Amino acid sequence: MEEGIYLQLLRFLKLFFIPSLLAVGSSLFFPSFIKTAVLKAQSPSSERPFILPFAGEAGPSTWLLAQPYGNTVGAFRQRHTTYAGSGGIHFGVDLAAPCGTPVIAMADGVVFAVDTLRFGSAPHNLMIDHPNLGYATFYGHLLEKPSTKPGQFVKAGDVVALSGDPAETCFGRPHLHFEIRDLAHVRKYNPVTLVQADWDNMALAGAFSQAFQYDLNEPRKWQYLDGQPEASAGGPLLNEFANPWPPDYPANTRQITPLQSDLTARCALPSRPVASTPTSLDPSRQENATPSSLRMLTTGGCCTQPFWSPDARHILFIDRPSPARPAAIWAVSADSPEAGPYLFSEYIGFYTSDLSYRIVLQGKTTFIEELACPAGPARKRWSVPAGGQLVTISPGRARMAWQISNENLPAERRTAEIWVANLDGSEAHIVAKLARGSVLGWASDEVLIVSGRENLGAREQVLWALSLPDGNRLELARSDRLRGESISPKGTWLVYSILLSQERDQNGVWLVRTDGSQRRQLPKTLFGSYRWRDDYRLLVIPLRPTATFHEMWEFDAQNGTARALTNVETTPFKVTNNDWVVAPDGHSIVFVSALDHNLWLLALPE
């Protein structure tokens, strides 16, 4: 183990593990925690014999992780089509890169096949066998036929191909798809466990299909980058779940819960011991992040994709703690996590941010439910003319919007109809038809933020603020590679990334006011993962490809200043799979830890 990694790991254990061990009151966490942390830090080459297929570090102008291996939501939705031939999961890794990026051999080996399209990943591909390792590597969606010949020996790091685009346009979906197979070229393995790379760092930016699909019968199954199943060419579907979440489209028809008469009783949260809030969790008393800013919330590798209750007192997540307990929304108290998780709501669904409305999809019918309490039983329910599509509700709960497009077509050939209606479903009408279009969200009840292209042949994606009263569209941003759009809580600002653009000086993170009056680019050093803290402050975890721990920064959109909120010397933390969320009051975040796969709370200084 490198000395720097060892010292940082030791510092983490001294500062956080021993105190949390005492708080939890059990020594059972020690062996698994140490083992996980050491394996993550060491990544020994004997266990990870491959290098990445691109030389140089990931970044906004070089290459980025696009889709990891495994049971991603995107793969699940295409398990009967694109991914049916290998178990229904994404059986490789996608790295986004400009066309023509040199592809290197991941280990010493012998070329087995060139442009053998029965292996897939057109327009060109390459298979290299590694007999000494017992594996083969596959490289797909190449720009041109590789010049290598079957039987040719290659060394690790040799340039063997150029990356391309399955759409063959170089502005559609340019990326490299690579796989690790057995020497029979049938079994497919998770590259995360075999390639020397820090995957949690790579996951901070660029991914377009990163979350993993839930099997609600076993919600903790296959939820981590390093915990995905093997696949086999021609094998059965691994993810034909009886109870998936998110649901298929059209959603499986399920019995809708009848409206309840006794709403008060069903809205009462279970009584929990309430501990006084420790000083370390009171951001108003902190001038700088300190070791006590971190607090373990769950144990046993629980859970992923957390979110907050509107009052910022409970951290919520989907789980089924045991076969005897229901798959539901469970919670842990931010103030007294030692009390353990408890059932928060039986209703898994799509919610507004304040948990006051729930969108229910039943076949090709969309229902909206007004709730009696956050994520609770429905007080009212009505259908809306969205045809089983998910809708987004405006901040004042006056309107809703949705998009309709032909999902059987490749993304580069889709035209979306953008629909708007009143919340009760009345006055539904099309407000725009956009090539490769989508609804991003609401800036206000009167302004909808949308994305699209001027036509299907256009190279650039455009972000518009669409005024509903007059139908005018205000252009907010334009680039050939827009990603990561997010609207600030009150709709004043829009953040987005430009990635891998030919105009390299434009690559990075940008902010624009939704009225178009102001625009800023964040410093290049702050490229990475971001979330809004409030309407003008953006939290950023910078992408540092070789960093042992992560840092939290804050950028002020109003005055353009940045400041560090944490220091790895005193607050070493690491997020796995970019899975973190900001509390509604902005005082803290919750993240899934790369070191133990548990939920942790990080209090933030004001």
Q: At residue 276, does pLDDT exceed 70?
A: no
> What is the pLDDT, as a whole number, of residue 253?
57
Identify which has the larger pLDDT, 473 or 209: 473
- Residue 297's identity, in one-letter code, is L
Whether 374 has a pLDDT exceeding 70, the answer reads yes
Residue 415 near residue 437, CB atoms below 8 Å: yes
Each residue of 175-200: pLDDT tens digit?
Answer: 999 999 999 999 999 999 999 999 99
The whole-number pLDDT of residue 148 equals 96
Cα 549 from Cα 101, distance rounded (Å): 29
> Whose CA is closest to 138, among 171, 185, 102, 175?
185
Q: How large a percentage of the chain has pLDDT more than 70?
A: 86
DSSP string, 174-227: -EEEEEEEETTS-EEE-GGGTB-S-HHHHTTS--SS-SBPEETTSTTTT-STT-
Comparing 13-27, 256-270, 301-315, 578-592, the range with the smallest average pLDDT is 13-27
Q: Print the SS3 string covering 448-512.
A: EEEEEECCCCCCCEEEEEEECCCCCEEEEEEECCEEEEEECCCCCEEEEEECCCCCHHHCEEEEE
Q: According to DSSP H, which parts of 78-127 are helical?
A: none
Query: In the predicted model, is pLDDT for residue 416 greater than 80?
Result: yes
Taking residues 579-593, report their average pLDDT: 97
For residues 460 and 172, give the distance between their C-alpha atoms in angstroms, rounded to a whole number. Answer: 10
Which fold does the domain 391-521 belong to in CATH? Answer: Neuraminidase (2.120.10)
User: What is the model's pLDDT at position 393?
Assistant: 98
Q: CA–CA separation, 586 vs 283, rounded Å? A: 10
Structure confidence at residue 259 (pLDDT): 74
B/e letters for 448-479, b = 16+ CB within 10 Å, e = fewer, are: bbbbbbeeeeeeebbbbbbbbeeeebeebbeb
Mean pLDDT of 1-9: 41
3-state SS, one letter per residue, for 239-291: CCCCCEECCCCCECCCCCCCCCCCHHHHHCCCCCCCCCCCHHHCHHHCCCCCH
* Coil, strand or helix at 118: helix
H/E element holding 136? Answer: strand 135-140
64-208 homologous superfamily: Glucose Permease (Domain IIA) (2.70.70.10)
DSSP lists the bridge partners of residue 400 as: 393, 421
pLDDT over threshold 50, residue 289: no
Sole residue written with tokens 């005024």: 467
- Does residue 19 have a pLDDT over 80? no
- Of the pLDDT bands very low, low, confident and very high (cuts 50, 70, 90), residue 473 is very high
CA gap 594, 395 in Å, rounded = 34
Between 286 and 154, whose confidence is greater? Answer: 154
Indicate the range of 43-52, 119-128, 454-463, 520-529 predicted with least confidence.
43-52
The answer to whether 176 and 103 have CB atoms below 8 angstroms apart is yes
Q: How far is CA 212 from the centre of its chain?
A: 8
At 572, which amino acid appears? P
- pLDDT for 495 beyond 90: yes
DSSP string, 549-604: SB--EEEETTT--EEE---TTT--B-EEEEEEEE-TTSSEEEEEETTTS-EEEEE-
Residue 554 has which token pair? Answer: 């804050």
- Token pair of 550 as six digits: 């992560």
Confidence of residue 52 (pLDDT cuts 50, 70, 90): very high
Identify the CA nearest to 438 among candidates 457, 455, 419, 460: 419
Give the position of tokens 């539901």: 328
The greatest distance separating any two alpha carbons of the chain, rounded to the nearest whole angstrom, comes to: 74
Name the amino acid, one letter, at 129.
Answer: D
pLDDT at 237: 96
Low-confidence winner among 168-182, 206-220, 478-492, 572-586 (lowest mean pLDDT): 206-220
What is residue 16's predicted lDDT score, i.e. its pLDDT? Answer: 46
Task: Give the separation between CA 330 and CA 317, rounded to whole angstroms.
Answer: 5
On the 0-12 / 13-18 / 19+ scale of CB atoms within 10 A, 558 is: middle
Q: Do 64-208 and 391-521 have matching folds? A: no
| Structure confidence at residue 282 as a pLDDT band (50, 70, 90) | very low
Query: For 503, phi and psi rounded to 5 degrees?
Result: -85, 85
């309709």: which residue's tokens?
A: 404
Residues with Cβ within 8 Å of 268's Cβ and at least 6 positions away in sequence, in order, are none
* SS3 label, residue 541: strand
What ranges do the domains of the chain cover? Answer: 3-42, 64-208, 391-521
Total residues belonging to the chain: 606
Q: How far apart are CA 580 and CA 204, in angstroms?
A: 10
